[in-house]
Amino acid sequence: MRKGILTTYETLLPLTERTPRLSLCEGNTPLVSLKRLGRELGVDLYGKFDGLNPTGSFKDRGMVLAVSKAVEEGAKALICASTGNTSASAAAYGAVAGIPCYVLLPAGKVALGKLAQALIYGAKVIAVRGNFDSALEMARQASAERGLAMVNSVNPYRLYGQRSASWEICDELGAAPDWIVLPVGNAGNISAYCAGLEQYKELSRISRLPRLVGVQAEGAAPMVRGVFVDEPETVATAIRIGHPVSADKARRAVELTGGEFLAVSDDEILQAQKRLASQEGLFAEPASCAPLAGLVRLKEMGTLPKGIRVVLVLTGNGLKDPDAAVQTIARPIEIDSSWDALSEVLPL
Ligand code: F0G
Protein backbone atom coordinates (compact mmCIF):
# COMPACT_ATOMS: atom_id res chain seq x y z
CA MET A 1 0.00 0.00 0.00
CA ARG A 2 1.19 3.54 -0.71
CA LYS A 3 2.39 5.43 2.33
CA GLY A 4 2.03 9.09 3.21
CA ILE A 5 4.99 11.15 4.32
CA LEU A 6 4.42 10.64 8.07
CA THR A 7 5.01 6.91 7.64
CA THR A 8 7.70 7.16 4.98
CA TYR A 9 9.77 9.70 6.92
CA GLU A 10 8.73 8.71 10.45
CA THR A 11 12.28 8.84 11.80
CA LEU A 12 13.10 12.24 10.28
CA LEU A 13 9.97 14.09 11.43
CA PRO A 14 9.05 15.38 14.92
CA LEU A 15 6.42 12.71 15.66
CA THR A 16 5.48 11.17 19.00
CA GLU A 17 3.52 8.03 19.77
CA ARG A 18 0.48 10.23 20.26
CA THR A 19 0.70 11.96 16.86
CA PRO A 20 -2.05 10.53 14.65
CA ARG A 21 -0.58 9.29 11.35
CA LEU A 22 -3.03 11.14 9.07
CA SER A 23 -2.53 10.40 5.38
CA LEU A 24 -3.98 11.07 1.96
CA CYS A 25 -0.93 9.29 0.48
CA GLU A 26 0.77 12.64 -0.07
CA GLY A 27 4.36 12.87 -1.29
CA ASN A 28 6.28 10.40 -3.45
CA THR A 29 5.61 12.58 -6.50
CA PRO A 30 7.35 11.98 -9.84
CA LEU A 31 10.71 13.48 -10.73
CA VAL A 32 10.29 13.80 -14.47
CA SER A 33 13.26 14.08 -16.83
CA LEU A 34 12.67 17.15 -19.06
CA LYS A 35 14.67 16.07 -22.09
CA ARG A 36 13.65 18.63 -24.71
CA LEU A 37 13.86 21.70 -22.50
CA GLY A 38 17.08 20.37 -20.98
CA ARG A 39 18.64 20.06 -24.44
CA GLU A 40 17.56 23.61 -25.33
CA LEU A 41 18.95 25.02 -22.09
CA GLY A 42 22.12 22.89 -22.12
CA VAL A 43 21.48 21.31 -18.70
CA ASP A 44 20.37 17.95 -17.27
CA LEU A 45 16.85 19.06 -16.35
CA TYR A 46 14.16 17.52 -14.10
CA GLY A 47 10.76 18.63 -12.89
CA LYS A 48 9.57 17.60 -9.41
CA PHE A 49 5.85 17.41 -10.16
CA ASP A 50 4.34 18.24 -6.78
CA GLY A 51 1.09 19.13 -8.53
CA LEU A 52 0.36 15.39 -8.28
CA ASN A 53 -0.14 15.54 -4.52
CA PRO A 54 -3.68 14.71 -3.28
CA THR A 55 -4.94 18.31 -3.37
CA GLY A 56 -2.75 19.22 -6.32
CA SER A 57 0.07 21.11 -4.61
CA PHE A 58 3.15 20.71 -2.39
CA LYS A 59 1.19 22.14 0.54
CA ASP A 60 -0.06 18.64 1.45
CA ARG A 61 3.44 17.66 2.62
CA GLY A 62 3.42 20.24 5.39
CA MET A 63 -0.30 20.25 6.05
CA VAL A 64 -0.47 16.56 6.92
CA LEU A 65 2.06 17.14 9.70
CA ALA A 66 0.61 20.48 10.88
CA VAL A 67 -2.91 19.04 11.14
CA SER A 68 -1.71 15.81 12.79
CA LYS A 69 0.15 17.87 15.43
CA ALA A 70 -2.89 20.13 15.88
CA VAL A 71 -5.00 17.02 16.59
CA GLU A 72 -2.33 15.73 18.98
CA GLU A 73 -2.42 19.07 20.82
CA GLY A 74 -6.21 18.97 21.06
CA ALA A 75 -7.08 21.73 18.58
CA LYS A 76 -10.80 22.35 18.10
CA ALA A 77 -10.48 24.13 14.74
CA LEU A 78 -7.93 25.15 12.10
CA ILE A 79 -7.40 28.55 10.54
CA CYS A 80 -5.22 29.83 7.70
CA ALA A 81 -4.89 32.66 5.22
CA SER A 82 -4.11 31.61 1.68
CA THR A 83 -3.65 32.52 -1.95
CA GLY A 84 -5.52 29.24 -2.60
CA ASN A 85 -3.39 26.14 -2.26
CA THR A 86 -2.83 26.24 1.49
CA SER A 87 -6.58 26.62 2.00
CA ALA A 88 -7.37 23.65 -0.28
CA SER A 89 -4.89 21.52 1.63
CA ALA A 90 -5.98 22.70 5.10
CA ALA A 91 -9.61 22.03 4.19
CA ALA A 92 -8.83 18.50 2.97
CA TYR A 93 -6.77 17.50 6.01
CA GLY A 94 -9.32 19.19 8.29
CA ALA A 95 -11.89 16.87 6.71
CA VAL A 96 -9.63 13.85 7.26
CA ALA A 97 -9.06 14.85 10.90
CA GLY A 98 -12.74 15.68 11.40
CA ILE A 99 -12.14 19.20 12.69
CA PRO A 100 -13.56 22.47 11.32
CA CYS A 101 -11.36 24.64 9.12
CA TYR A 102 -11.62 28.41 8.56
CA VAL A 103 -9.85 29.92 5.56
CA LEU A 104 -9.27 33.59 4.74
CA LEU A 105 -8.77 34.30 1.04
CA PRO A 106 -8.07 37.57 -0.80
CA ALA A 107 -11.47 38.27 -2.43
CA GLY A 108 -11.50 37.78 -6.20
CA LYS A 109 -7.82 36.82 -6.39
CA VAL A 110 -7.93 33.07 -5.91
CA ALA A 111 -7.96 30.62 -8.85
CA LEU A 112 -11.38 29.01 -9.21
CA GLY A 113 -10.16 25.43 -8.81
CA LYS A 114 -8.62 26.24 -5.43
CA LEU A 115 -11.75 28.03 -4.22
CA ALA A 116 -13.87 25.05 -5.32
CA GLN A 117 -11.58 22.72 -3.38
CA ALA A 118 -11.80 24.66 -0.10
CA LEU A 119 -15.59 24.78 -0.40
CA ILE A 120 -16.16 21.14 -1.35
CA TYR A 121 -13.84 19.84 1.40
CA GLY A 122 -16.17 21.68 3.77
CA ALA A 123 -14.09 24.63 5.00
CA LYS A 124 -15.72 27.85 6.14
CA VAL A 125 -14.45 30.14 3.40
CA ILE A 126 -14.13 33.86 4.20
CA ALA A 127 -13.23 36.22 1.34
CA VAL A 128 -11.32 39.23 2.66
CA ARG A 129 -11.41 42.53 0.78
CA GLY A 130 -7.63 42.91 0.89
CA ASN A 131 -4.55 40.98 -0.16
CA PHE A 132 -2.93 37.83 1.26
CA ASP A 133 -0.65 39.77 3.58
CA SER A 134 -3.55 41.45 5.39
CA ALA A 135 -5.51 38.16 5.51
CA LEU A 136 -2.49 36.51 7.17
CA GLU A 137 -2.42 39.20 9.85
CA MET A 138 -6.12 38.57 10.52
CA ALA A 139 -5.57 34.80 10.74
CA ARG A 140 -2.76 35.34 13.26
CA GLN A 141 -5.07 37.49 15.36
CA ALA A 142 -7.86 34.90 15.22
CA SER A 143 -5.40 32.26 16.35
CA ALA A 144 -4.17 34.41 19.26
CA GLU A 145 -7.61 35.61 20.38
CA ARG A 146 -9.70 32.48 19.82
CA GLY A 147 -7.14 29.68 20.07
CA LEU A 148 -7.69 28.27 16.57
CA ALA A 149 -4.70 26.25 15.34
CA MET A 150 -2.84 28.34 12.77
CA VAL A 151 -1.72 26.15 9.86
CA ASN A 152 0.08 28.75 7.75
CA SER A 153 3.83 28.30 7.41
CA VAL A 154 4.36 30.33 10.61
CA ASN A 155 3.44 26.93 12.11
CA PRO A 156 6.86 25.20 12.18
CA TYR A 157 5.37 21.78 11.41
CA ARG A 158 4.32 22.98 7.98
CA LEU A 159 7.88 23.71 6.90
CA TYR A 160 9.10 20.52 8.58
CA GLY A 161 6.77 18.40 6.45
CA GLN A 162 7.70 20.32 3.32
CA ARG A 163 11.31 19.20 3.79
CA SER A 164 10.19 15.81 2.48
CA ALA A 165 10.27 17.01 -1.15
CA SER A 166 13.99 17.78 -0.90
CA TRP A 167 14.59 14.32 0.59
CA GLU A 168 12.69 12.60 -2.22
CA ILE A 169 14.71 14.45 -4.85
CA CYS A 170 18.05 13.42 -3.29
CA ASP A 171 16.88 9.84 -2.67
CA GLU A 172 15.76 9.45 -6.27
CA LEU A 173 18.85 10.99 -7.85
CA GLY A 174 21.16 9.21 -5.41
CA ALA A 175 22.83 12.57 -4.70
CA ALA A 176 21.95 16.25 -4.45
CA PRO A 177 21.45 17.96 -7.83
CA ASP A 178 23.60 21.02 -8.63
CA TRP A 179 20.69 23.46 -8.52
CA ILE A 180 17.11 23.42 -7.23
CA VAL A 181 14.92 26.23 -8.59
CA LEU A 182 11.69 27.15 -6.78
CA PRO A 183 8.94 29.76 -6.97
CA VAL A 184 8.93 32.10 -3.96
CA GLY A 185 5.85 33.72 -2.42
CA ASN A 186 5.66 33.64 1.36
CA ALA A 187 9.21 32.23 1.18
CA GLY A 188 8.46 29.16 3.29
CA ASN A 189 9.15 26.42 0.78
CA ILE A 190 12.67 27.52 -0.17
CA SER A 191 13.41 27.70 3.58
CA ALA A 192 11.98 24.21 4.07
CA TYR A 193 14.15 22.83 1.24
CA CYS A 194 17.24 24.37 2.82
CA ALA A 195 16.44 22.88 6.23
CA GLY A 196 15.72 19.47 4.68
CA LEU A 197 18.96 19.50 2.72
CA GLU A 198 20.98 20.57 5.77
CA GLN A 199 19.39 17.72 7.73
CA TYR A 200 20.31 15.25 4.96
CA LYS A 201 23.87 16.55 4.89
CA GLU A 202 24.22 16.14 8.66
CA LEU A 203 23.02 12.54 8.24
CA SER A 204 25.60 12.09 5.42
CA ARG A 205 22.85 11.19 2.96
CA ILE A 206 24.22 13.93 0.68
CA SER A 207 27.74 15.32 0.55
CA ARG A 208 27.00 18.93 -0.40
CA LEU A 209 24.13 21.41 -0.56
CA PRO A 210 22.66 22.28 -3.96
CA ARG A 211 22.40 25.90 -5.00
CA LEU A 212 18.88 27.17 -4.19
CA VAL A 213 17.48 29.64 -6.70
CA GLY A 214 14.25 31.45 -5.78
CA VAL A 215 12.12 32.96 -8.53
CA GLN A 216 9.47 35.65 -7.95
CA ALA A 217 7.06 37.49 -10.22
CA GLU A 218 8.23 41.03 -11.06
CA GLY A 219 5.08 42.58 -9.56
CA ALA A 220 5.56 40.71 -6.28
CA ALA A 221 9.32 40.51 -5.81
CA PRO A 222 10.25 41.73 -2.31
CA MET A 223 13.11 39.19 -2.00
CA VAL A 224 14.72 40.52 -5.17
CA ARG A 225 14.12 44.20 -4.45
CA GLY A 226 15.09 43.96 -0.79
CA VAL A 227 11.98 45.87 0.33
CA PHE A 228 8.43 44.75 1.06
CA VAL A 229 5.82 45.39 -1.62
CA ASP A 230 2.49 46.83 -0.44
CA GLU A 231 0.42 46.22 -3.57
CA PRO A 232 1.70 42.95 -5.08
CA GLU A 233 0.27 42.05 -8.50
CA THR A 234 0.87 39.08 -10.81
CA VAL A 235 -0.97 36.57 -12.98
CA ALA A 236 0.65 33.92 -10.76
CA THR A 237 -1.86 34.52 -7.94
CA ALA A 238 -0.30 31.80 -5.75
CA ILE A 239 2.77 34.00 -5.24
CA ARG A 240 1.00 37.37 -5.15
CA ILE A 241 2.64 38.22 -1.81
CA GLY A 242 4.45 41.40 -0.79
CA HIS A 243 5.43 40.71 2.83
CA PRO A 244 6.83 37.15 2.99
CA VAL A 245 6.79 35.86 6.57
CA SER A 246 9.82 33.62 6.00
CA ALA A 247 11.91 36.33 4.29
CA ASP A 248 14.82 36.01 6.74
CA LYS A 249 14.97 32.22 6.53
CA ALA A 250 14.81 32.38 2.74
CA ARG A 251 17.62 34.92 2.54
CA ARG A 252 19.74 32.67 4.73
CA ALA A 253 18.91 29.68 2.49
CA VAL A 254 20.13 31.51 -0.58
CA GLU A 255 23.28 32.80 1.13
CA LEU A 256 24.17 29.43 2.64
CA THR A 257 23.84 27.60 -0.67
CA GLY A 258 25.42 30.28 -2.87
CA GLY A 259 22.11 30.73 -4.65
CA GLU A 260 20.17 33.78 -5.73
CA PHE A 261 16.74 35.37 -6.10
CA LEU A 262 15.49 36.64 -9.43
CA ALA A 263 12.27 38.07 -10.81
CA VAL A 264 10.50 37.28 -14.08
CA SER A 265 7.61 39.01 -15.84
CA ASP A 266 4.07 37.63 -16.10
CA ASP A 267 4.66 37.21 -19.81
CA GLU A 268 7.76 35.10 -19.23
CA ILE A 269 5.82 32.99 -16.70
CA LEU A 270 3.01 32.30 -19.17
CA GLN A 271 5.47 31.51 -21.96
CA ALA A 272 7.21 29.07 -19.64
CA GLN A 273 3.87 27.50 -18.73
CA LYS A 274 3.14 26.93 -22.40
CA ARG A 275 6.60 25.49 -23.08
CA LEU A 276 6.42 23.10 -20.15
CA ALA A 277 3.04 21.81 -21.28
CA SER A 278 3.60 21.71 -25.04
CA GLN A 279 7.21 20.45 -24.99
CA GLU A 280 7.17 18.18 -21.95
CA GLY A 281 3.52 17.29 -21.35
CA LEU A 282 3.39 18.79 -17.85
CA PHE A 283 0.64 21.24 -16.95
CA ALA A 284 1.66 23.31 -13.94
CA GLU A 285 -0.04 26.42 -12.57
CA PRO A 286 1.53 29.81 -13.41
CA ALA A 287 3.46 30.23 -10.12
CA SER A 288 5.04 26.82 -10.66
CA CYS A 289 6.36 27.93 -14.05
CA ALA A 290 8.31 30.87 -12.65
CA PRO A 291 11.36 28.59 -12.09
CA LEU A 292 11.49 27.61 -15.77
CA ALA A 293 11.07 31.27 -16.75
CA GLY A 294 13.96 32.09 -14.43
CA LEU A 295 16.18 29.44 -15.96
CA VAL A 296 15.40 30.71 -19.47
CA ARG A 297 16.31 34.22 -18.30
CA LEU A 298 19.66 33.02 -16.88
CA LYS A 299 20.41 31.16 -20.10
CA GLU A 300 19.75 34.33 -22.10
CA MET A 301 22.00 36.30 -19.75
CA GLY A 302 24.76 33.71 -20.28
CA THR A 303 24.95 32.84 -16.57
CA LEU A 304 23.55 29.30 -16.71
CA PRO A 305 26.47 26.85 -16.47
CA LYS A 306 26.47 24.10 -19.12
CA GLY A 307 25.79 20.48 -18.23
CA ILE A 308 24.73 20.98 -14.60
CA ARG A 309 21.89 18.94 -13.08
CA VAL A 310 18.91 21.19 -12.30
CA VAL A 311 15.60 20.35 -10.61
CA LEU A 312 12.63 22.67 -11.17
CA VAL A 313 10.03 22.44 -8.40
CA LEU A 314 6.60 22.34 -10.04
CA THR A 315 4.63 23.26 -6.96
CA GLY A 316 1.02 23.19 -8.19
CA ASN A 317 -1.20 21.54 -10.79
CA GLY A 318 -2.24 23.55 -13.85
CA LEU A 319 -5.82 22.30 -13.53
CA LYS A 320 -6.27 24.50 -10.48
CA ASP A 321 -6.20 27.61 -12.63
CA PRO A 322 -7.47 26.77 -16.12
CA ASP A 323 -8.57 30.39 -16.63
CA ALA A 324 -4.96 31.57 -16.70
CA ALA A 325 -4.14 29.06 -19.44
CA VAL A 326 -7.27 29.48 -21.55
CA GLN A 327 -7.55 33.26 -21.41
CA THR A 328 -3.97 34.12 -22.10
CA ILE A 329 -2.48 31.25 -24.02
CA ALA A 330 -4.74 28.97 -26.02
CA ARG A 331 -8.05 29.27 -27.82
CA PRO A 332 -9.96 26.39 -29.37
CA ILE A 333 -10.59 26.58 -33.12
CA GLU A 334 -14.38 26.79 -33.51
CA ILE A 335 -15.87 25.25 -36.65
CA ASP A 336 -19.28 24.32 -38.11
CA SER A 337 -20.52 20.83 -37.43
CA SER A 338 -19.52 19.28 -40.79
CA TRP A 339 -16.78 17.16 -42.32
CA ASP A 340 -15.94 19.97 -44.77
CA ALA A 341 -15.22 22.36 -41.93
CA LEU A 342 -13.14 19.76 -40.10
CA SER A 343 -11.16 18.76 -43.17
CA GLU A 344 -10.07 22.37 -43.61
CA VAL A 345 -8.34 22.49 -40.23
CA LEU A 346 -6.72 19.05 -40.40
CA PRO A 347 -3.34 18.40 -41.99
CA LEU A 348 -3.43 16.80 -45.45
N1 F0G B 1 3.81 27.70 -5.72
C2 F0G B 1 2.52 27.54 -5.41
C3 F0G B 1 1.67 26.77 -6.35
C4 F0G B 1 1.99 28.10 -4.22
O5 F0G B 1 0.71 27.93 -3.92
C6 F0G B 1 2.85 28.85 -3.38
C7 F0G B 1 2.34 29.45 -2.14
C8 F0G B 1 4.19 28.97 -3.76
C9 F0G B 1 4.64 28.39 -4.93
C10 F0G B 1 5.18 29.74 -2.95
O11 F0G B 1 5.59 29.03 -1.83
O12 F0G B 1 4.89 30.68 -0.13
O13 F0G B 1 6.40 28.79 0.44
O14 F0G B 1 7.21 30.68 -0.97
N15 F0G B 1 1.13 29.46 -1.81
C16 F0G B 1 0.61 29.91 -0.50
C17 F0G B 1 -0.86 29.57 -0.37
C18 F0G B 1 0.97 31.28 -0.14
O19 F0G B 1 -1.57 30.26 0.39
O20 F0G B 1 -1.31 28.63 -0.98
P21 F0G B 1 6.06 29.84 -0.54
- Please work out whether the CB of residue 315 comes within 6 Å of at least one atom of ligand 1: yes
Would you state the pLDDT for residue 348? 81
Would you state the pLDDT for residue 102? 98
Which burial class, exposed, middle or buried, applies to 71 when counting CB atoms under 10 A from its CB (0-12, 13-18, 19+)? buried
SS (H, E, C) 72-133: HCCCCCEEEECCCHHHHHHHHHHHHHCCCEEEEEECCCCCHHHHHHHHHCCCEEEEECCCHH
User: In the Cβ-directed half-sphere of 119, how many Cα atoms lie within 13 Å?
Assistant: 10
* Closest-lying ligand 1 atom to the alpha carbon of residue 81: 19
Residues in a beta bridge with 214: 182, 261
Would you state the pLDDT for residue 291? 98
Would you state the pLDDT for residue 327? 76
The tens digit of pLDDT for each residue in 73-127 reads 999 999 999 999 999 999 999 999 999 999 999 999 999 999 999 999 999 999 9
Mutation pick for ligand 1 pocket among 58, 85, 163, 190 (CB with most ligand atoms within 8 Å)? 85
Whether this prediction's pTM lies above 0.85 is answered by yes
Say if CB 47 and CB 32 are below 8 A apart.
Answer: yes
- Please work out whether the CB of residue 232 comes within 6 Å of at least one atom of ligand 1: no
Residues of the chain with pLDDT under 50: none
